Structure 1
Amino acid sequence: MTETNRDRQTGGPGQPATRDGHPTEEFLRRPLGSTGLPVTPICVGGGPLGSMPDLFGYDVSAERGTETALAALTGPFNFLDTAAGYSDGESERRIGAALARIGGVPEGFVLATKVDRNFATGDFSGDQVRRSAEESLARLGLDHLPLVYLHDPENISFAAGMAPGGPVETLLELQREGIVGQLGVAGGPVALMAEYLRTGHFSALITHNRWTLVDRSACDLLDEAVSLGVGVVNGAPFGSGILAKGPAHFTKYAYRQADPEVLRRIRAMEEACALHGVPLAAAALQFSLRDPRITSTIVGVSRPERIAETARLATWDIPEELWETLAPLTAPKDFWLW
């Protein structure tokens, strides 16, 4: 087999990227939209390291979570995403413990979190947003949050989100006070996310489960975000796990049971990948990485070794003909989340 340019860059199929024959220490950083924050094309997702067994199906101990956070903070990616509501703040606590071990946030590293509603009462008021941000600072051991997202605003109406004294107005106050740097919005429904972007208050967007090998709901949203100068971060490229583990081992997409037609198409994708010697997970991840509209892609990790594994998947050699085979296997629009 003839060595390709991609092989020379990556050390061959399935091998880490190299520079002058040695593994790269970091992936190329790009500004996240108008935030000006330079980030790597992969963002480590902090949800699993906090232990979320109801979503992911397994527990993660406090020590393993902290060690995973340490690996994220000192690895090849400079971007880590968490949220106040992940495991009732446990993700942030473990990241905070890792930060304490290494003496704070490494230079040039971007740590992002999200303000959440009160999960017990449903309160998503401005006062709750302020409490959420302040509690995040305490758990992380920081006095400033460089990037904060309004998290899952679909749990209230757009009018409530934008009301005087409400969540968005409070985020803007926190920004003026210097507690928060850049503002983003992170959620599901694409039409609602577009409404928030059009306010002009947000410079970053997280969309999840809506731009994958299976679901293309977010296509117009990505276009609009780019046109507005909003940095796009794509979450859940594995569709909550099925596009990494395969349907023989996991049958949920976006945390719910996948339709038989969706499962059939994912099995066909997995078979096509196998014919080319490509893991389904590599194709799922690189589907997002190769889109020029997406600045960074979130990959949740629960073990330190997952950092290196993610780097290998990101640099796996994938022939163009495989993309041509996968394209028509996308689920029909009726199955998309929107």
Structure 2
Amino acid sequence: MTDARTTDRTKAPMGLGCAPIGDLYGPVDPATAVATVVAAVEAEAALLDTAPKYGDGLSERRVGQALAATGRRTFRLSTKVGWAIGEGRPPRPAFGADDVRRGLEDSMRRLGVDHIDVVHVHDPDDHLDEAVTRTVPALVRLRDEGVIGAVGAGMNSNRLLHELVRRTDLDCVLIAGRYTLLEQPALADLLPLCAQRGVEVIAAGVYNSGLLADPRPGAPYNYRPVPDDVLARALRIKEICERHSVPLRAAAVQFPLAHPAVTTVLVGAATPEEVADNLRLARLPLPALLWEELREAGLLDPLAPLP
């Protein structure tokens, strides 16, 4: 099935998620990790996103090595606060104002920079009140001082991110896995509030932990083996994509950008080849009939904007 109407993604605002180069999913050769970030910079990625929790600081150090080789250029750089690392212990909560300054200083040292464009509160699921009363206000002060450019929050929960947007002065949010081709719960609460308040949305986890990259029994979904009903939904989406000769991953990358509140899609990579492939998928023209058929099949929220 073909359709002359297609979406033009030649300038798709793609970002590089740097968790994989922190050995989060398995060891990555150090030179390959740095080359991955360099490839994203050379390809004019819109955003490089890292965090201290990714490999106990390893991701930040590798990003820093790449930045030393490439310079800052036009992309934005983001990292996160809220968890203390080091000393051979698992990450531990660190959401106080002093923790924020100390953690950010450590991040800037690992990254080799004196200014960070975006700093997110990282996964404050069980520390929401502390994030509201301590972490975000500390970041707002750093924003006012010019140390950072913007204040954000990154989570898997659209409900809790909605609370943070409602109760604090955020510039942006990073929502992982809750506004994707597979499911769109953030459409009901988070995205409308962000659009109303002018809060930028960065869509991450667009493959739902890997399910939409390769839907099969046992594939990861929310970091666990996929339930049968969710797998069946993913396979139906894949079937419709195949009827339109569209790679499932291309549809997954492009779908979130249709919402006016979403400014960037963040996709992880561990090799330069993966960076190139992600950018290719993001810029692939896709037929408008694909999205219409997915909606007619009940696989997209009726209110979700279509690319």
- 2:177 aligns with 209
- 1:299 aligns with 267
1:74-131 deviation per Cα after TM superposition (whole angstroms, max 9, x unaligned): 11323211112111111110010011122x211x221111113124433332222222
Of 138, 149, 159, 2:129 maps to 159
Quick one: distance in 1 between partners of 2:118 and 2:207?
24
Of 87, 98, 113, 2:66 maps to 98
1:46-195 aligned within 5 A:
46-53=18-25, 58-102=26-70, 104-106=71-73, 108-118=74-84, 119-156=90-127, 158-163=128-133, 166-195=134-163
Q: Does 1:257 align with 2:217?
A: no
For 1:228, the aligned partner's letter is: R
Q: Does 1:234 align with 2:200?
A: no
Q: 1:51 to 1:329 in 2, by over 3 A?
A: farther
Are 2:116 and 2:148, in contact at CA under 8 Å, matched by a contact in 1?
A: yes
Quick one: distance in 2 between partners of 1:290 and 1:142?
33
- Which moves more between the two structures, 177-186 or 204-213? 177-186
Quick one: distance in 1 between partners of 2:59 and 2:130?
28
Are 2:250 and 2:281, in contact at CA under 8 Å, matched by a contact in 1?
A: yes
Are 2:3 and 2:287, in contact at CA under 8 Å, matched by a contact in 1?
A: no
Shift in Å, 1:284: 0.9
Of 176, 180, 190, 1:221 maps to 190
Please provide the CA RMSD for this pair. Answer: 2.3
Quick one: distance in 1 between partners of 2:165 and 2:47?
22
Quick one: distance in 1 between partners of 2:102 and 2:32?
28
Of 258, 277, 282, 1:290 maps to 258
Gaps of at least 5 residues in structure 1 are 11-16, 18-26, 28-39, 333-338
Quick one: distance in 2 between partners of 1:256 and 1:96?
31
Q: Does 1:45 align with 2:17?
A: yes
Shift in Å, 1:290: 2.4
Q: How high is the TM-score relative to the length of structure 1?
A: 0.80
Q: In the comparison of the two structures, how many residue pairs are matched?
A: 294
Quick one: distance in 2 between partners of 1:76 and 1:247?
33
Are 1:84 and 1:116, in contact at CA under 8 Å, matched by a contact in 2?
A: no
Are 1:114 and 1:149, in contact at CA under 8 Å, matched by a contact in 2?
A: yes
Are 2:3 and 2:289, in contact at CA under 8 Å, matched by a contact in 1?
A: no
1:225-251 deviation per Cα after TM superposition (whole angstroms, max 9, x unaligned): 010011111111111111112225x61
Query: Partner of 2:15: helix, strand, or coil?
Result: strand
Q: Does 1:317 align with 2:285?
A: yes
- Which moves more between the two structures, 139-148 or 177-186? 177-186
Query: Partner of 2:262: helix, strand, or coil?
Result: coil
Shift in Å, 1:224: 0.7
Percent identity over the alignment is 35
Quick one: distance in 1 between partners of 2:126 and 2:106?
21
Shift in Å, 1:70: 0.7
Gaps of at least 5 residues in structure 2 are 85-89, 302-307
For 2:65, the aligned partner's letter is: A
Q: Does 1:246 align with 2:246?
A: no
For 2:16, the aligned partner's letter is: V
